Amino acid sequence: MVVDRLYESVKQKGVVCVGLDTDISYVPEEMAKAASTPGEAVFLFNKAIVDATADVSGCYKVQIAYYESLGLDGMLAYKKTLAYLREKGLIAIADIKRGDIAKTAEMYAKGHFEGDFEADFVTLAPYMGMDSVTPYLPYFKEKNKGCFILVRTSNPGSRDFQYLTTSSGKTIYDTVGAAVQALGQDYMGSCGFSSIGAVIGGTTSEEAETIRREMDKTFFLIPGYGAQGGKAEDIARYLVHGNGGVVNSSRAVLLAYKKHGGTFDEAARAEVLRMRKEIEDACKLLEK
């Protein structure tokens, strides 16, 4: 199962998921000018970031919107970035947040688990119901793929719907989380987690222990660290002995050079190492 690859990668290299949410404005001016197109500049920037962090990052998340915004040129950069991650044997999460049903979902699954845009995991939005997830399931066993389903996100607007209480007394996110955990039972890896994971925002710690207990077989993709307010001690509560989840960081890594100076790739590596140590230390304190 692909979740075993991810678990082992985290065990060996740490919980940091580098978010390649690369806007053209992030690319150093001299690199952007030397590239033949904006998309090529973005790819070369990504490639250097990957080369600098491959041995200290658990995986990579590639947010498709940044590439779509550059048109065909951007989508070529998206394709080349995913291909480069595969070439290096690294784990790629395609952050596409698809949420459609039936034949449309089948085409999304084919588009992002095969061919030009192939990734190891995709992110999915379940608002239309769990039949928006089922078209992806054949790929999990047959093609060794996985997904992360949005359960409780890190944005302020998550409280608009996700925290509403159902007739059973549970929140919407509790209900979705239970469905994700149940669906994941058929796709368990030897590591004790499922290839059907969940996006769980790390900006609040109040519900962390309950969420982790009720979704004990679910691997988490955790956004919200750093700029959105999630602290290392908050994040640690969603992990299990420092594993069972990856913590995404995008701008803090990609733009570290603008804050700390130095070359962009060296600064990105330093930020990943700093973040990794901070979270590891928080996990150790929690377990004392």
Give the DSSP per-residue string, 114-179.
Answer: SGGG--SEEEE--TT-GGGTGGGHHHHHHS--EEEEEEE-SSTTHHHHTT-B-TTS-BHHHHHHHH
**pTM listed for this prediction:** 0.97
Query: What are the tens digits of pLDDT across the range 10-36?
Result: 999 999 999 999 999 999 999 999 999
Identify residue 105 by its one-letter amino acid code.
A
Catalytic residues: 97
Quick one: pLDDT band at residue 275, thresholds 50, 70, 90? very high
Give mean pLDDT, residues 41-54.
98
> Angle CA(258)–CA(15)–CA(212) in degrees, nearest 5?
125
Tokens 């519900």 map to which residue? 207
Burial of 213 (0-12, 13-18, 19+ CB in 10 A): exposed
Describe the chain by its helix, strand, coil percentages, rounded to 5: 50, 20, 30
Q: How far apart are CA 274 and CA 254, in angstroms?
A: 14
For residue 102, the cross-strand partners are none
| pLDDT recorded at residue 287 | 82
% the chain with pLDDT above 90: 92
Q: How far apart are CA 252 and CA 139, in angstroms?
A: 33
Q: How far apart are CA 198 and CA 125, in angstroms?
A: 10
Give mean pLDDT, residues 171-182.
97
| pLDDT recorded at residue 225 | 85
Query: Residue 73 CB: number of other CB atoms within 10 A?
Result: 16
Radius of gyration of the chain measured on its C-alpha atoms = 18
